[in-house]
Structure 1
Amino acid sequence: MFELRDYQQETIDKVYQSMRTGHHRIIVQQPPRTGKTVIMSEIAKRTTDKSNRVMFIIHRKEVLEQAISTFKQQEVNMNLATMGMVQTLTRRVKKLKAPQLILIDEAHHALAQSYRRIIDTFPNAYILYFTATPIRTGHDQLDQIADDIIVGKSIKWLTEHHFLAPFHYYGLGDIDRSKLRKSNGDYSSQSMDEAISHQIYGHIVQQYQRLANGKQAVVYCHSIASAKEVTDKFHEAGITAEEIDGNTDKNIRDKLVQKFRNKELQILVNVNLFTEGVDLPNVDCVIMARPTSSLALYLQFSMRCLNPREGKTAIIIDHVDNFLNFGLPNNDRDWNEAIKTKDKRKTSNKDNGPAICQCQYCYGIFYRKEMQDNCCPLCGHKLDADKQEYKIVNVDLQEIKENQAVKHRKELVNEILNDQVMANIADKTPGQLTTLKEFQMYAKLHGYKPGWAYFQFKNRRKH
């Protein structure tokens, strides 16, 4: 059996308190990587211990298999448990025995008709909607099917108490976000093809080597073709990498995941697989090469590497500026307000969150309040205070309007990445420069006068 962490026990206590006060359909918000399935298994055990039936619903087979294993470990009476994918259960709903409790995992999907059919069939059941992100991209929100919400500990709290690893976040901007178009709630594959720079594939390897060399990493791509190209670039650099997607044979996929877990494989490049539920405990770096307009996907992507370990600092590399939509993963979010259907939400005093900045030198992304003496907290470089500040969007998921700071940064990053000399000197100090061209590019990168480069080059040659 699993020994519950204090915050998990606190969540369970709040669930039962909510039930005692008359609520029957309760949202349970827990951040990714905090053991939602363990919490559900303990509630399921207490339910079956009282000879009551429980139903568990999920929409992905891999997550279902892991949940069944966890429920068995927690000694749930499986004779009283119905566990299945929503696609299967909704077809058989009239033949299912009535549960006293329904547990829905990744419940931000639960407004779909397949879920509603099950919910409506068992009106007397208590329902617990578990999700890290109780918000949908459309107009209708979870207040339409729930009467209470229990909010878990914040990501900042979990990090401070060592339940999640701290992280450094870097943004590279290999994308023209003006070309992105939505389809079925997220960006269309065609628009992502048009928006993402063809140079991103080489940059992914270069920046991995610069920022996270040697760390095990998961790369998120938007298409099989892009994932294969990224994998080839890692191979060219002599780094072990494999690509897996929904078309990969299950046995091959399982073997590759096991190789990664055994640390026999450095990089896993995937398309829409390692999002919800699947356990990969030794990821230390996440590389996002896929933009998303979904907060749920963004948090699943970015937090995949936050399993804690003594002395670990995770690395998140964002090549597609997802941070412009959502800020950093540990941004505070008002989930009580997020579950309300949009026309019920407060419209006054809207807070667009804390200012975040980007360092032109290391491309690190951080909250302005983390700076000391106007220097980047990641590399120590002096920031030009009036140029690199953004306001992150609120939880409504409206993409921020491009401002001068964003435009300036995109132009700068594109110029750097299009010029190999400038790319080579981007992470160097003046003492590491050797040619006049390098000094000139360094001056251009940091806004120094042209005469600085000539003087520094001459002075270096004298030594």
Structure 2
Amino acid sequence: MFKLRSYQQETIDKVYQSMRSGHRRIVVQQPPRTGKTVIMAEIARKTTAKGNRVMFIIHRKEVLEQAIETFKLQGVDMNLTTMGMVQTLTRRINQLDKPQLILVDEAHHALAKSYLNILDAFPNAYVLYFTATPIRTGHDQLDKIADDIVTGKSIKWLTGHHFLAPFHYYGLGDIDRSKLRKSNGDYSSESMDQAISHEIYGHIVEQYQRLAKGKQAVVYCHSIESAKKITQQFEQAGITAAEVDGNTEVALRDELVQKFRDQKLTILANVNLFTEGVDLPNVDCVIMARPTSSLALYLQFSMRCLNPRKGKTAIIIDHVDNFLTFGLPNNDRNWSEAIVTKDKRKAKLSTENGPAIAQCNYCFGTFYRDQIVDDCCPLCGHELKKKTKDYKIVNVDLQEIKENQAVNHRKAMIQKILSDQVMANVADKSVGQLHTLKEFQAYAKLHSYSPGWAWYQFNNRRKKKW
């Protein structure tokens, strides 16, 4: 049996308090990597110990298998428990024993028709909707099916109390986000192909070696082709790596995942696999090579490496600037507001209501502005430039772009590119690829830098050549 952590017991106590207050369908928010399944197992144990039946619903086979094992270890009476994938249970509704309690895992999916078919069949059951991110990409939110929400401890609190590992976050910007287009709730694969720089494949290995060399890392990719290319780049650098995706044979996928768990693989590149529930305890680094418009996916990506260990500091490498949309993983978020359906959802849980973010060009570290000490980067100690009117210039050539500036910034950038051929030529280049003064000046205009920036960079480059 698992010994409950203090915050897990607190969540359970709050659930029962909500039930005693008359609520019957309750959202239970618990951050990733904090033992959500253990909490469910303990509630199921208490329920079956009183002779009441429990039903557990999930949508992925791997997560189901792990949950069954956890329930057994926690002492749940499995004779009074039905556990299954939603796809299976919805076809067998008429044969299912009537539960007194239904536990829905990854419940941000629970407005789908298959879930509703099951929930509607047992209207008298208590329902607990467990999720790390109780917000959906569509219009309707979880208040359509729930009457209360219980929120877990914040990520900052969990980190401060050593239940999650601290992290360093690096944003590297190998993407033109103006090319991203949404389809079915997230960016389309085609638009990600167009937006992501082809140079990313080499950059990923270079930056991994600079920032996280030797650490076991999971790479999140947007396509099978990109995952395979990234894997090849690591292998060419002499780093053990493997690629897994939905088309990988189950036996081979299980074998590769086990090799990673046994620390016989350093890098595991994947496409849409290691998001919800799958247990990979020894990840110390996450590399995001795909953008997402889903907060749920972003937190699953970025927090995959936050399992704690004494002395551990996790490394999050964001090549696609997801932090511009969502801030850092430990932003405080108003989950009670998130479950409310609105005609026009304006209060997105991103950086617009969170603390300002700055970035250091020397190490590419991304951090909250209030972490800056003596005008120096809190990650590498490099001196940062002073504040300007609208944003914080950080070490010459990168700047913080506030969430409410990002869209206007991109629109203005596109207009400038269309009207200036030199800008068009430098639009996809990094600062290191610029050579002439005109290129530096065009780059400065494109990114709204001061005129002095171009002179400084050009003269600095010439001095280095001499």
TM-score by length of 2: 0.87
Identity of aligned residues (%): 73
Distance in 2 (alpha carbons) for counterparts of 1:30 and 1:402:
34
Who is 1:357 aligned against?
A: 358
Q: Are 2:407 and 1:401 aligned?
A: yes
Q: Are 2:35 and 1:35 aligned?
A: yes
1:94-105 correspondence runs (5 A) = 94-105=94-105
Who is 2:378 aligned against?
A: 377
Return the offset for 1:151: 0.5
Who is 2:56 aligned against?
A: 56
Q: Which amino acid aligns with 1:132?
A: A
Give ranges in structure 2 of 5+ residues lacking alignment: 394-398, 417-423, 436-451
Return the offset for 1:302: 0.3
Who is 1:441 aligned against?
A: none
Cα gap change, 1:77/1:381 in structure 2, threshold over 3 Å: closer, same or farther? Answer: same
Q: Which amino acid aligns with 1:389?
A: E
Who is 1:236 aligned against?
A: 236
Who is 2:164 aligned against?
A: 164
Who is 2:193 aligned against?
A: 193
Distance in 1 (alpha carbons) for counterparts of 2:461 and 2:138:
53
1:152-301 correspondence runs (5 A) = 152-301=152-301
Return the offset for 1:404: 8.1
Cα gap change, 1:451/1:128 in structure 2, threshold over 3 Å: closer, same or farther? Answer: closer
Distance in 2 (alpha carbons) for counterparts of 1:55 and 1:141:
23
Who is 1:133 aligned against?
A: 133
- 2:400 counterpart (389, 404, 413): 389
Q: Does structure 1 conserve the Cα–Cα contact (< 8 Å) formed by 2:179 and 2:194?
A: yes
Cα gap change, 1:340/1:95 in structure 2, threshold over 3 Å: closer, same or farther? Answer: same
Q: Which amino acid aligns with 1:358?
A: Q
Who is 1:414 aligned against?
A: 429
Return the offset for 1:446: 9.7
Q: Does structure 2 conserve the Cα–Cα contact (< 8 Å) formed by 1:283 and 1:304?
A: yes
Return the offset for 1:401: 1.5
Cα gap change, 1:453/1:59 in structure 2, threshold over 3 Å: closer, same or farther? Answer: closer
Distance in 1 (alpha carbons) for counterparts of 2:465 and 2:412:
32
1:439-458 correspondence runs (5 A) = 448=456
Q: Secondary structure at the match of 1:72?
A: helix
Cα gap change, 1:265/1:355 in structure 2, threshold over 3 Å: closer, same or farther? Answer: same
Return the offset for 1:449: 6.4
Q: Does structure 1 conserve the Cα–Cα contact (< 8 Å) formed by 2:178 and 2:410?
A: no
Return the offset for 1:389: 2.5
After TM superposition, the structure 1 stretch with the greater mean CA deviation from structure 2, 204-213 or 249-258, is 249-258
Q: Does structure 2 conserve the Cα–Cα contact (< 8 Å) formed by 1:356 and 1:392?
A: no
Who is 1:334 aligned against?
A: 334
Distance in 2 (alpha carbons) for counterparts of 1:207 and 1:314:
15
User: Any idea what the Cα deviations from partners look like across 1:327-375, whole Å, max 9, x if unmatched?
Assistant: 000000000111100239787xx96321101111111111111101222
Distance in 1 (alpha carbons) for counterparts of 2:99 and 2:412:
52
Q: Does structure 2 conserve the Cα–Cα contact (< 8 Å) formed by 1:390 and 1:405?
A: no
Q: Does structure 1 conserve the Cα–Cα contact (< 8 Å) formed by 2:352 and 2:403?
A: no
Return the offset for 1:95: 1.5
User: Any idea what the Cα deviations from partners look like across 1:8-61, whole Å, max 9, x if unmatched?
Assistant: 000001111110110000000000000000000000000110110000000000
Q: Secondary structure at the match of 1:222?
A: coil
Q: Does structure 1 conserve the Cα–Cα contact (< 8 Å) formed by 2:352 and 2:402?
A: no
Q: Does structure 2 conserve the Cα–Cα contact (< 8 Å) formed by 1:172 and 1:413?
A: no
Distance in 2 (alpha carbons) for counterparts of 1:447 and 1:209:
32
After TM superposition, the structure 1 stretch with the greater mean CA deviation from structure 2, 299-308 or 172-181, is 172-181
Q: Are 2:86 and 1:71 aligned?
A: no
Distance in 1 (alpha carbons) for counterparts of 2:130 and 2:359:
34
Distance in 1 (alpha carbons) for counterparts of 2:401 and 2:252:
43
Distance in 2 (alpha carbons) for counterparts of 1:248 and 1:98:
37
RMSD over aligned CA atoms reads 2.6
User: Any idea what the Cα deviations from partners look like across 1:297-348, whole Å, max 9, x if unmatched?
Assistant: 000000000000111100000011111110000000000111100239787x
Distance in 1 (alpha carbons) for counterparts of 2:20 and 2:372:
46
Who is 1:120 aligned against?
A: 120
After TM superposition, the structure 1 stretch with the greater mean CA deviation from structure 2, 382-391 or 203-212, is 382-391
Q: Does structure 2 conserve the Cα–Cα contact (< 8 Å) formed by 1:389 and 1:405?
A: no
Who is 1:426 aligned against?
A: none
Cα gap change, 1:41/1:382 in structure 2, threshold over 3 Å: closer, same or farther? Answer: same
Q: Does structure 2 conserve the Cα–Cα contact (< 8 Å) formed by 1:172 and 1:317?
A: yes
Q: Are 2:52 and 1:46 aligned?
A: no
Q: Does structure 2 conserve the Cα–Cα contact (< 8 Å) formed by 1:174 and 1:414?
A: no
Q: Which amino acid aligns with 2:95?
A: K
Cα gap change, 1:119/1:344 in structure 2, threshold over 3 Å: closer, same or farther? Answer: farther
Q: Does structure 2 conserve the Cα–Cα contact (< 8 Å) formed by 1:355 and 1:390?
A: no
Return the offset for 1:252: 1.0
Q: Does structure 1 conserve the Cα–Cα contact (< 8 Å) formed by 2:41 and 2:76?
A: yes
Return the offset for 1:138: 1.3
Return the offset for 1:457: 7.4
Distance in 2 (alpha carbons) for counterparts of 1:118 and 1:448:
65
Return the offset for 1:390: 3.1
Return the offset for 1:456: 7.2
Give ranges in structure 1 of 5+ residues lacking alignment: 394-398, 421-443, 459-463
Equivalent residue pairs, number: 428
Cα gap change, 1:457/1:189 in structure 2, threshold over 3 Å: closer, same or farther? Answer: closer
Cα gap change, 1:213/1:118 in structure 2, threshold over 3 Å: closer, same or farther? Answer: same
User: Any idea what the Cα deviations from partners look like across 1:375-410, whole Å, max 9, x if unmatched?
Assistant: 2111112223333233347xxxxx9424389969x9
Q: Does structure 1 conserve the Cα–Cα contact (< 8 Å) formed by 2:29 and 2:134?
A: yes
